[in-house]
A = this chain, B = another copy of it.
Amino acid sequence: MSVEPLPTPFVAVDRQLMLANLARMADHALAIGVALRPHVKTHKSPAIARRQIEAGAAGLTVATIGEAEVFARYGFDDLFIAYPIWLSHESAHRLEHLLTGTRLRVGVDSAEGARALAQVTSPLLSVAVEVDSGQHRSGVEPSRAGEVAAAAADAGLRVDGVFTFPGHSYAPQAGEQAAVEEAKALATAADSVRAAGLDCPLTSGGSTPSAGFVQPGSLTEMRPGVYLFGDAQQWELGAIAPEQIALTVHATVVSHAGGRLILDSGSKALGADRPAWTSGFGRLLDHPQARIVQLSEHHAVVDFPGRLPALGSRVRVVPNHVCNCVNGADTLFLMDDGQPGDNWPVAARGANT
């Protein structure tokens, strides 16, 4: 059977590379004695989550109640919303519905947040206190974890322990230092929880760039996400080799204007992430010297050394940040030996509420 090429831009996943990345992180977690609870915001795909569980993942991490709802609907029954959600009255109803069959751990980083969460009571519900290990996003100071944990316990919630996201690992040469700071923050936080008279069985952390540097004994659980696919950020950080990158956006060369390559993979396909330390708005997998120097919704403008690929030809683009790329797609097109195979729905696309 001869199949017509898919219209571009589309998101292609090399199945063998993805499964290899999946297995490598599972093996790594096993080797260092840390439970792996992958973050599914990266792929939003039940088909992939199933393979992560089959490879030994202890459960899944999600970012929102909406993602929890989608994965619960697909039968995943042990979820961690690693986010300090503010439980409004109406989101309480959603959580109650989830808790009819799903074991759910929820993040908190304030006493008020814990008390709002305690609107819901269920033996399937627990909380973990988020602490800041250096990214300076959400999370209390580690020394104040006990205070939040005590408020949660007083409100009737079961406290599993503490967690952090060492997101400051997303910078050149920052992975190891972030892992050291993660270990320190979680140790301080766990001490603080115990000083408040509570157990602290959980110390959860992890990110793709810091995963290789996890400090011995620092984590009981890790939650990387991007490792599965890789992206241009991880490539440039050295956290993944280009030949391991499993997800690309296939794009068509639509113009040679100005002697550059203009591709139809704009920000609506790639995502617009562009940290200052990246070399451009994404990379071309098969042309490592090329740089996407300008990105608009439907144009990627590429400085391309040497002879330009012909108009109408196709190239494989590695997005800077694969999570936002996937969130713009309805379907992942699985590729087997470079040929289109299964289509997997991005079932939790847009489930960001």
A237-259 to B contact mask, C-beta < 8 Å, 1/0: 00000000000000011111110
Bound CA–CA A140/B260 (angstroms): 12
**Is the CB–CB distance between A65 and B254 below 8 Å?**
no
- Among A19-27, A48-56, A196-204, A293-301, the one that faces the other chain is A293-301
**Is the CB–CB distance between A252 and B86 below 8 Å?**
yes
User: Which of chain A's residues 80-103 have a Cβ closer than 8 Å to chain B?
Assistant: 83-86, 88-91, 94
Say yes or no for A311: interface residue by CB 8 A criterion. yes
Closest chain-B Cβ to A351's Cβ sits at a distance in Å of: 10
A110-130 to B contact mask, C-beta < 8 Å, 1/0: 101100100000000000000
**Is the CB–CB distance between A324 and B312 below 8 Å?**
no
Bound CA–CA A94/B5 (angstroms): 13
Say yes or no for A273: interface residue by CB 8 A criterion. yes
* Chain A: interface residue total (CB-CB under 8 A): 67
User: Which of chain A's residues 298-328 have a Cβ closer than 8 Å to chain B?
Assistant: 298-299, 301, 311-312, 321, 323-324, 327-328
Closest chain-B Cβ to A198's Cβ sits at a distance in Å of: 21
Closest chain-B Cβ to A321's Cβ sits at a distance in Å of: 7
User: Which of chain A's residues 256-273 have a Cβ closer than 8 Å to chain B?
Assistant: 256-258, 262, 264, 266-269, 271-273
Cβ contacts under 8 Å, A341 to chain B: none
**Is the CB–CB distance between A63 and B273 below 8 Å?**
no
Say yes or no for A184: interface residue by CB 8 A criterion. no
Cβ contacts under 8 Å, A256 to chain B: 110
Cβ contacts under 8 Å, A258 to chain B: 132, 136
Closest chain-B Cβ to A208's Cβ sits at a distance in Å of: 14
**Is the CB–CB distance between A353 and B109 below 8 Å?**
no
Closest chain-B Cβ to A229's Cβ sits at a distance in Å of: 15
**Is the CB–CB distance between B10 and A353 below 8 Å?**
yes
Cβ contacts under 8 Å, A90 to chain B: 4-5, 7
CB closest chain-B residue, reference A4? B90
Bound CA–CA A8/B297 (angstroms): 25
Bound CA–CA A330/B89 (angstroms): 23
**Is the CB–CB distance between B262 and A137 below 8 Å?**
yes
Bound CA–CA A330/B350 (angstroms): 7
Known: A138-B299, A273-B267. A254 touches B84 (CB 8 A): yes
**Is the CB–CB distance between A301 and B136 below 8 Å?**
yes
Cβ contacts under 8 Å, A264 to chain B: 83, 85-86
Bound CA–CA A116/B63 (angstroms): 45
**Is the CB–CB distance between A324 and B268 below 8 Å?**
yes
Among B8, B139, B257, B327, which residue has its beta carbon within 8 angstroms of that of A137? B257
Say yes or no for A171: interface residue by CB 8 A criterion. no
Cβ contacts under 8 Å, A273 to chain B: 267, 272
Q: List 5 A-B contacts (CB under 8 A).
A: A5-B90, A85-B254, A113-B311, A268-B324, A328-B352
- Interface residues, chain A, CB within 8 Å of chain B? 4-5, 7-10, 41, 63-66, 83-86, 88-91, 94, 109-110, 112-113, 116, 132, 136-140, 167, 252-258, 262, 264, 266-269, 271-274, 294, 296-299, 301, 311-312, 321, 323-324, 327-330, 350, 352-353
Nearest 5 A/B pairs, CB to CB? A4-B90, A272-B272, A138-B255, A268-B352, A272-B273
